[in-house]
Amino acid sequence: MSQRTLPRLLQSPAVLLLLVWMLVPLGMTLYFSFIRYVLNSLRRPEWTSPSLSNWRGLGNYEFVLNSKDFWFAVQNSIFIVCSILFATVILGILIAVLINKTFPGQGIVRVLLISPFFVMPAVNAVLWINMILDPVLGLNGLAVGGINSLVEGLRDAPLVGWFFSMWPEFEPISFRATQTSAYAVIMMVTWQWTPFAVLIFMTSLQSEDQQQKEAAILDGASTWSQFRFLTLPHLGRPIAIVVMIQAIFHLSLYAEIEIVSRGNGNKNLPYLIGEFANNNIGAASATGIFAVILANIVAIFLLRMIGKTLME
Amino acid sequence: MGRIVLDKVSKKFGDVEVIPPLDLTIEDGEFAVFVGPSGCGKSTLLRMIAGLEDLTSGDIEIDGENVTQVPPSKRGLAMVFQSYALYPHMSVRKNIAFPLRMEGMPQAEIDKKVEAAAESLNLNDYLERKPAALSGGQRQRVAIGRAIVRNPSGFLFDEPLSNLDAALRVGMRLEISEMHERMQTTMIYVTHDQVEAMTMADKIVVLRAGVIEQVGSPLDLYRAPRNKFVAGFIGSPKMNFIEGEEAAKHGAHTIGVRPEHIEVSASSGAWKGVVSVSEHLGSDSFFHVHDTGLAETITVRAGGEVGFRHGDTIHLTPRDDVIHKFDSSGLRFE
Ligand SMILES: Nc1ncnc2c1ncn2[C@@H]1O[C@H](COP(=O)(O)OP(=O)(O)OP(=O)(O)O)[C@@H](O)[C@H]1O
Ligand SMILES: [Mg+2]
């Protein structure tokens, strides 16, 4: 036995397990995506069990590509993921830098900041859409109502009354509508995932070298320059981690989309898979393969972009 | 230019007074070295001069101008840190250029200055590398380069060589000394190292618990230490202190004799003892002598060819003209 054989042999069960873990589902998805396979069919009962004799070639892919929601779902997936990433990274950096200073009540503030992360996605969605974004009963409706009655009151006020009487009545935005449901999802997921970004950025900020900062101060760097040239590059790797992990998670958003609008005006690939999977497993699997490809493209693209901008 | 005056400068961290009010003047072009035991406030003092640490009270003047409230970057001082504090995400070129870039200097001029600094520090081949890909000595050069390009009126060094190995240290020590000769700029240098202090300084400032024990040229401090603390701190190996009867013979509470000022002999001498450890360095030999009845251990330095061993009886004779006398409060008197 050569020196390498024994360690490899010892590792192999774990590696095999992982391979099986990954390859079996992927293989099954691939297999289903090339055959006709539906859950229920009165006319063609032979399609209801997976078998090679139902081979359809690229037919499922063609079907998915030509279905009316596919390109919309791809675009919308990317839109939602990128918006959430953008918002969480920016907010995460801002908050992390802010609470990295020592101040009284620091511990409590940090715990409170992290807490949204422990809320279950479905609960998060229900809370947001009913209690905050609801145009009548939610904070959204109450706030707009409050502004309206304030403006109403000011219309009769002396001196400034004429100004306010030109104001229209405000309408609360309904976030279940076709045009806005994606924004509702972006908001609630951003709220939930910003703590994750804060947590990671905060640990990274604490490992920042203070002497480098002092050297920069002596070199005449302003607070902004210190942030731009030292802190931000220092955060490069954590940002990449946050982006990558979140991209993977948010490409598969489902609960929020279901709860906000049942996919009305706001589908992503997993939601489309869910819709197909009501009956057409073949099409659902083909969509799944597209989703895997999309996830890889997005990840590679995002990492390149971050690498370029931050690492000078 | 670069005359630095500290006027009743003090520093408290919370309730702890790290530096009681202290006066010190460092002349233009002088190479001043701060030495003292660990925790005595050397770094704190240096950081106060740099402006990185606020003063609790007192004033700092540079070239006659009160800079106590002036921000660090406007004081015209450059600092080199023990950990180098290079910017890890920037190439060597960008590191050196950083202060100039912050000044808003035009790019062409920056390039010229960086090239010149790199030239003088032998860094030309490394300009495009990141700090992580450099050796300790090269990193230290980059840190110095970053300080030089600003053309400061004074340099502050906080133990810049203590992360380097012995051979490199000697080399860098010479380079910094040469740099000082060439530029004739004020330099303040903090170190633990005897040899660095003695060889580089125009003026040594010995600190203990934030208090200046003595200020003077290296040889002044060696020849005429003001008290027992300075006498023990300057010189290596340490001065031997002898109390009691032997000291009384010289009319002192304590006498101090440097190891190099004691003659050794196998047959006769003023004092007699037993060698416990002998260290042979080739050029010199150090003997740690016990059972003299004078002090726990007497350390002696003799020529490299002198060969006493463990357990040998040895006779010691101090050179009378260089015996230091101290009174009961530890002050030296003639
Ligand atoms: N930020 C701080 N808060 C509280 N105490 C401090 C702070 N910085 C330094 N001190 C204390 O001030 C004293 C002087 O510290 P300083 O770093 O100046 O020592 P030093 O002479 O440079 O020591 P060394 O040779 O080990 O570097 C020490 O007792 C240290 O504990
Ligand atoms: Mg120090």
Q: Which of A174, A203, A237 is the last residue of a domain?
A: A174
Instruction: Catalogue the long-range contacts made by A44-47 (C-beta closer than 8 Å, 24 or more residues apart).
Output: none
**Which is more confident, A305 or A206?**
A206
Per-residue pLDDT tens over the stretch A18-44 = 999 989 999 999 999 998 888 888 888
pTM of the model as a whole: 0.81
What is residue A3's DSSP assignment? T
Q: How far apart are CA A220 and CA B104, in angstroms?
A: 10
CB atoms within 10 A of CB A21: 10
Q: How far apart are CA A32 and CA B330, in angstroms?
A: 93
Regarding whether A191 and A108 lie in a shared domain, the answer is: yes
* Domain range list for chain B: 4-232, 237-333
Per-residue pLDDT tens over the stretch A92-105 = 999 999 988 888 88
Regarding whether A203 and A267 lie in a shared domain, the answer is: yes
Q: How far apart are CA A34 and CA A269, in angstroms?
A: 18
In this complex, is the C-beta atom of A267 within 8 Å of any C-beta atom belonging to chain B?
Answer: no
Regarding whether A190 and A95 lie in a shared domain, the answer is: yes
Band (A310; pLDDT cuts 50, 70, 90): low
CA-proximal residue: ligand 1, atom 19 (nearest): B39
> Could you tell me if residue A56 is inside a domain?
no
Q: What is the pLDDT of residue B67?
A: 93
> Could you tell me if residue A242 is inside a domain?
yes
Is B128 in a helix, a strand, or coil? coil
Inspect the interface and report whether the beta carbons of A212 and B146 lie closer than 8 Å.
no
> Could you tell me if residue A82 is inside a domain?
yes
Is B276 in a helix, a strand, or coil? strand
Regarding whether A205 and A146 lie in a shared domain, the answer is: no
Band (A137; pLDDT cuts 50, 70, 90): confident
Q: Are B273 and B316 contacting, i.e. CB atoms less than 8 angstroms apart?
A: yes
Q: Are B226 and B214 contacting, i.e. CB atoms less than 8 angstroms apart?
A: yes
Q: What is the architecture of the domain spanning B4-232?
A: 3-Layer(aba) Sandwich (3.40)
Interface of A with B in 226-265 (CB under 8 A): 229-230, 233-234, 236
Between helix A70-99 and helix A281-310 the angle, nearest 10°, is 40
What is the percent of chain B with per-residue pLDDT over 70, rounded to a whole number? 100
Atom of ligand 1 nearest to the CA of B40: 21
Structure-block tokens of residue A207: 């490992």
Please tell me if the CB atom of residue B267 comes closer than 6 angstroms to any atom of ligand 1: no
Measure Cα distances from B200 to A268, B173, B216, B230 in Å. Answer: 70, 8, 13, 18
Inspect the interface and report whether the beta carbons of A212 and B94 lie closer than 8 Å.
no
Q: Which of A174, A204, A233 is the last residue of a domain?
A: A174
Mutate to test the interface with B, among A214, A218, A226 (most CBs of B within 10 A): A218
What backbone torsions phi and psi does residue B306 show, to the nearest 5 degrees?
-75, 130
As assigned by CATH, the class of the B237-333 domain is: mainly beta
Q: Are B315 and B271 contacting, i.e. CB atoms less than 8 angstroms apart?
A: yes
Of A211, A218, A236, the CB nearest to B73: A218
Q: How far apart are CA B248 and CA B115, in angstroms?
A: 64
Per-residue pLDDT tens over the stretch B107-136 = 999 999 999 999 988 899 999 999 999 998
Atom of ligand 1 nearest to the CA of B192: 25
pLDDT exceeds 70 at position A311? no
pLDDT exceeds 60 at position A126? yes
Q: Which one of the ligands is nearest to B36 CA?
A: 1
Per-residue pLDDT tens over the stretch B262-276 = 999 988 888 999 999
Instruction: Give residue B98's Cα distance to chain centre.
Output: 29
pLDDT exceeds 60 at position B140? yes
Regarding whether A185 and A170 lie in a shared domain, the answer is: no
Find the domain containing A142 and state its range: 134-174
Domain count, chain A: 2
Please tell me if the CB atom of residue B11 comes closer than 6 angstroms to any atom of ligand 1: no
Measure Cα distances from B82 to A109, A208, B91, B161, B206 in Å. Answer: 36, 16, 20, 7, 20
Regarding whether A207 and A154 lie in a shared domain, the answer is: no
Q: What is the pLDDT of residue B17?
A: 93
Distance from CA of A8 to the nearest CA of B (A): 33
